[in-house]
Amino acid sequence: MPIVTLATSSDFPGLDEDDRALPDALRERGIEPRIAVWNEPGVDWCESDMVVLRSVRDYAKSDRYEDFMAWTRSVPRLANHPDVVAWNADKHYLRRLSELGAPMIPTLWLEPDAGLSKHQVHCRFPAFGDFVVKPAISSGGRGTGRYTAIDAGSRSAAINDAMHHLSRDRTVMVQRYLEEVDRRGELSLVYFNGVLSHAVEKAPMLHPSFRSTDEVHEEIVTAREPSEQEWLWGERVRKAIHQHIKERSGRDIQLLFNRVDVVEDGQGGFYLMEVSLIDAGLYLGSAPDALNNFADAIAQRVFW
């Protein structure tokens, strides 16, 4: 019987709630599931026919990031592939995907090597409206905050937030907050082995009083069928992702799972918010057939 190990973190030693039915679904397909914390000593990852990344949301913490990247390169048969993990961990990838036809929200990038002072950061923030400050390396919304440009206290908090990340050698992204997120939320399109499985609509998380924390933010999601326009946009993003992967790796790499988050741009199109290929929440309990689709995708890989 083939063995599939679901890699998680010490925060979710038994997997997170959304993934907990996955082991039983794998057993039904003739697969022996195991669960292991990625940085737990003594785990023999070579025993597995496949290692699937799941609740590894601590990978982006500054004291674990390099260890996690080294671990991915040491694990045979990791899904998604370590080369994919390496570029998806840093949101600079959004710049290249935008060039390849998947536009992102207009973003100001504050780089740590620029040595910016608090005053220089202040001058780079928008002069009006709400805006978002977040690190380019983050997981589950950690370190993300929404602020108001014309409120002195909010602006001061945003400066402190940005300086906190910069002092830890993390690039900071500054984006104007989109009203479309409040009106319609975000749409997540979830793919398994390159095929669209399901879609969910996510309610806005960054309400006006929202502030940056190191906690993972809880999402409220509703499953729904994507429109033809949304499906076509997802295909456009997926094409850009695979082109980028081929540019970086020199070959095609099949993705076991791929979550694409988009938001309407207010002009009839969409902005790409994020591509999640590492610790993606897949909403297995929120959409019909999602769990079975994922278990089938893993089985297809194992029995190929």
Tell me the C-alpha distance between 36 and 245, whole Å.
Answer: 28
Q: Is the confidence at residue 58, as pLDDT, over 60? A: yes
Quick one: pLDDT band at residue 221, thresholds 50, 70, 90? confident
- Interatomic CA distance for residues 193 and 23, integer angstroms: 19
State which amino acid sits at residue 120: Q
Residue pLDDT, tens place only, 256-283: 999 999 998 888 889 999 999 999 999 9
Strand order in the sheet with 195-202: 221-223, 195-202, 186-192, 257-264, 270-276
DSSP structural state of residue 104: B
Q: Which residues fall within 8 angstroms of residue 137, CB to CB, at 6 or more apart? A: 60, 65, 89, 90, 91, 170, 171
- 257 three-state secondary structure: strand
User: Do residues 198 and 289 make contact, with C-beta atoms less than 8 angstroms apart?
Assistant: yes
Say whether pLDDT at 210 is over 50.
no
**Quick one: CA dihedral 145, 199, 232, 93, positive or negative?**
positive
Instruction: Give residue 175's pLDDT band: very low, low, confident or very high (50, 70, 90).
Output: very high
Residue 209, C-beta contacts closer than 8 angstroms, at least 6 positions apart: none
Does residue 107 have a pLDDT over 80? yes
Residue 214 scores a pLDDT above 60: no
Tens-place pLDDT, residues 20-41: 999 999 999 999 999 999 999 9
Report how far apart the first and last C-alpha atoms of the chain are (Å, whole number). 14
Closest to 171 (Cα-Cα) out of 213, 234, 128, 116:
116
- Report how far apart, in Å, the C-alpha atoms of 4 and of each of 24, 52, 58, 100, 289 are: 12, 7, 21, 34, 20
Give yes or no for residue 202 having a pLDDT over 90. no
CB of 270 within 8 A of CB of 98?
no
CA atoms of 261 and 3, how far apart (whole Å): 31
